[in-house]
A and B are shown apart, each in its own frame.
Chain A
Amino acid sequence: MPDNYSFGIEPVSCHAFNKDRTQVALSLNDSEVQIHKFAAGKWALTDTLAEHGQRVTGIDWAPNSNRIVTCGADRNAYVWTKQSDNKWKPTLVVLRINRAATSVRWSPQENKFAVSSGARMIAICYFEQENDWWISKQIKKPIRSTVTCLDWHPNNVLLACGSTDFKARVYSAYIKDVEEKPSATSWGSKMPFGNLMAEFSSGGGWVHSISFSANGERLAWVGHDSSVCVVDAANGQQLTTVKTDVLPFMSITWVTDNSLVAAGFDCCPMLYTYSSGNINFVSKLDDTAKQQVAGKVSAMARFKAMDSRAATDDSANETTLGTVHQNTITQLSIHSGTKSKCTKFATSGVDGQLVVWDVKSLESAFAGLRIA
């Protein structure tokens, strides 16, 4: 059974774990970021970071430098560093955007971060030593609508983004002040800042989430037209799309070099595999429905239900969904392991729950399931 933790009735807008997963930073649909510490099987609130003027839309926790970056609908981003007195001190980052920020991601080497926004641009921010502040450079062309999601390539330079103009793009976010010139990859060799390396059409819907595979050779994203797309750069940028028969996904991540977990409006994580140009649905990863025992309803209760609610069958007794999450899952993150060998992943959703799923117990719960 997956471990689920409830943080109240408000949706979890976004969450981020620290390096050893003993702490989580999350926001419950308001302008504050709460930090919880894991102790004795429960999460306890230890800090509240209140600096944003409006709803917090993205949080990311850099594992090695232990800095938290948050972005919000107030068009600002803050970098939080832990002081010696154990308090978190915010530093404002001037993004120069005139619309809300939608998500934020530290780069793999944690020397810069990217913020996507409704201002049809991505702000790449890095720290300038001489002036002791964060500078932002903007990637604008040719984005034509809100950028919703971001993911960094392991080489610290390439950035994938999905947007509400129905496109997924790969840009170069090379900042010469903080890093060496990158060597060529399957996505191209010329990588000046802001260069559009590749652009793909996702079909017909907003791109909700995008994810590079562990080695950066493959890119997967999900669109609101209930589709999952994968591009294999090693194979001549071959684009594969699968139109699913379920509700759209809001989040996707690679869990092995060939497997993807996606979750969204069906409130249930689902497993897909990608091999030789085909995306195959493997299984839903939530077996709560099977475990729900249809209890024997007494005759009295049955007539009562018929009388008050015109309920003629047993299913009317169920007031909960047959999944762990009771509402849309909005974010998936790798909890333990890496994108190439994930052992646990976490989901958070509109129902205010954070659920940690263990790959080993999923493999044993579903006969014959191998996440490899």
Chain B
Amino acid sequence: MSKATTNVDFRKVDVDQYEEEKYEDDAVVDDGVTGPNDAEVQALIAKGRLADALQTVLSTPPIASKNPAVKDKAAQVVMKVLTAFKAADIDGAIKNLDQNKLDVLMKYIYRGFEMSSEGNGAQLLVWHDKVFAVTGLGSIVRVLTDRRRV
């Protein structure tokens, strides 16, 4: 009798997948956006055109992609751009971003917090502070509620 009860595999079953009325997000068409072109962005950073690099990475976020590797790679590229900035230049770069790009930027800043590599923390906090000054609490609420994750 005791042998039959030691099997606890049933605990690993994901019961939610069998739910008939499970909510499915709208089928977001995978428009093949696979994030920014790494080489192109590296070139921009090397040339010192950081504001342009920022514009580039924020205009092609792989939101629709179902492949987590694509999203991770894009996030890494964004981190490279964000850390390449000098604190004094951040304000100027943010001024040129529209509402949508600012929301995407805020999403990446929080993604950066999640990835928590040792060097980035302070720089990310500076970015957070400056973007928050422009967009307010609304963009942070959107990071938390928007289903279209970066």
A residues at B contact (CB < 8 Å): 120, 144-145, 165-166, 201, 203-206, 224-226, 243-248
Contacts and interface: CB of A to CB of B under 8 A. Distances in A.
B6 interface: no
Given A243-B138, A246-B137, A225 B23 contact: no
B147 interface: yes
Interface in B13-60: 21, 23, 26
Nearest to B103: A243
Nearest to A244: B138
Contacts of A204: 142, 145-148
B138 A245 contact: yes
Given A224-B145, A226-B142, A247-B141, A165 B23 contact: yes
Nearest to A223: B145
A204 B26 CA distance: 11
B51 to A, nearest CB: 22
Contacts, number: 49
Contacts of A206: 145
Contacts of B138: 226, 243-247
B146 A145 contact: no
Contacts of A203: 146
B102 to A, nearest CB: 9
A166 B139 CA distance: 17
Contacts of B147: 166, 204
Contacts of A246: 136-138
A221 to B, nearest CB: 15
Q: Name A's interface SS.
A: loop
Given A205-B146, A243-B99, A248 B141 contact: yes
B96 interface: no
Contacts of A225: 141-142, 145-146
Contacts of B145: 204-206, 224-225, 248
B116 interface: no
A201 B99 CA distance: 18
Given A166-B147, A205-B146, A245 B23 contact: no
Contacts of A145: 23
A165 B148 CA distance: 14
Interface in B123-150: 135-139, 141-142, 145-148
Nearest to B134: A245
- The winner among A224, A244, A245 for most chain B CB atoms within 10 A is A245
10 contacts: A144-B23, A165-B23, A166-B147, A203-B146, A204-B146, A243-B138, A243-B139, A244-B138, A245-B136, A247-B138
